[in-house]
Amino acid sequence: PVISVLELGGVKIARDDVVRDDPTNNVPDTIFSKLGLQLHRRDQHPLGILKNTIYDYFDTNYSNKFDKFDELCPIVSVKQNFDDVLVPADHVSRSYNDTYYVDSQTVLRCHTSAHQAELLRKGHTHFLVTGDVYRRDSIDSTHYPVFHQMEGFRVFSPDEWEASGMDGTSFAAEDLKKCLEGLATHLFGAVEMRWVDTYFPFTNPSFELEIYFKEKWLEVLGCGVTEQEILKRNGKLNNVAWAFGLGLERLAMVLFDIPDIRLFWSDDERFTSQFSKGQLGTKFKPFSRYPPCYKDMSFWISESFTENNLCEVVRGIAGDLVEEVSLIDNFTNKKGMTSHCYRISYRSMERSLTDEEINDLQMSVREQHAANSSLRRLY
């Protein structure tokens, strides 16, 4: 059954206000149905367990100074999501291909940084914001269009860095690294880490923290010293601050040995019963490994084709039965026409699929794709 109304922090939101047949809207029903589930607020869920463990770290090390928010509404303005954190007007993340737009001025937040400015204006100087975030993306075992982030933010006043003899920026950068190295140790125990310089519009300098896990460097968070402009606009002219944003699924997949990101959404008791409140790092025991089924489809692409749009079609039809969509062949003929061949793997986490069922799904994907291509609306 299609859900028509949901409640978010006491506010009722009608499906028709979020999903509309309107060129300024690209939110499908599959995404609307995820709004309000708030997996991060379930104490027995791996994401809730992880959130609480991070809370413990901050409560212990900063004597409960960090204010915590975990039910801010994920429907935010373009201004909150982008302008307030200085994302340039031409940045790719603003495109309809990357972000879900409810209308031309309203989006499903693509990061928890969307709440930095309003919380600063309300006078908060130490805060953690946890929430569901939404991004149009390709499909594989570590990418899902809805995932969860935790934002951390800390403001310093001049006396804090002046006493150290350092300038404010160096002081904040050093404090930030110490804080996050401590957090990584709290979560992983003794672990090898490294800092990588990077770019974010809202911080400078900006860093990524990577940890060495199972013979690979894994990016676990982005962070940096907050751009002065953000502080200035929000009543903190004489301060410096740091911010970080970490992806909860990324960390939880490693900590709990969860092999596929779709599992976080499973209601199957064989998944949910394996985790308990306060137990970080219980190793997940796979209850099944049903065989995948691969189906290929090839087509000529138009100029407006994007992989994200194809993935949205596949997700709309097959839901969580789709495990991966990958480009396996890319060919351009003498006339300059390009064809793509995509391989779609179908696999259920919970049961084996019949040939008939998969053939029906694949047929619907082909039909929907063909219809969209000829309409030239989505592609």
Residue numbers at the binding site for ligand PHE (CB under 6 A): 111, 113, 151, 200, 202-203, 222-224, 243-245
Region for residue 6 given its phi and psi (left: phi exceeds 0; alpha: psi -120 to 50; beta: otherwise): beta
**Residues 109/155, Cβ–Cβ less than 8 Å:** no
* CB 256, min distance to ligand PHE, A: 22
> What six digits make up the tokens of 130?
């946890």
* CB 137, min distance to ligand PHE, A: 13
**In the chain, what is the straight-line distance between the N-terminal and C-terminal CA atoms, in Å?**
28
> SS3 helix, strand, coil % of the chain, rounded to 5?
35, 30, 35
SS3 353: coil
> Which is nearer to ligand PHE, 202 or 305 (by Cβ)?
202
* CB 273, min distance to ligand PHE, A: 32
* CB 224, min distance to ligand PHE, A: 5
> Which is nearer to ligand PHE, 111 or 154 (by Cβ)?
111
Closest residue to ligand PHE in the complex (CB): 245
175 vs 243: CA distance, rounded Å: 11
**Residues 316/30, Cβ–Cβ less than 8 Å:** yes
| Angle at alpha carbon of residue 371, lines to 366 and 373, rounded to 5° | 95
Identify which of 320, 305, 351 has the alpha carbon closest to the alpha carbon of residue 31. Answer: 320
> Which is nearer to ligand PHE, 26 or 113 (by Cβ)?
113
> Which is nearer to ligand PHE, 244 or 271 (by Cβ)?
244
> Which is nearer to ligand PHE, 99 or 203 (by Cβ)?
203
* CB 149, min distance to ligand PHE, A: 6
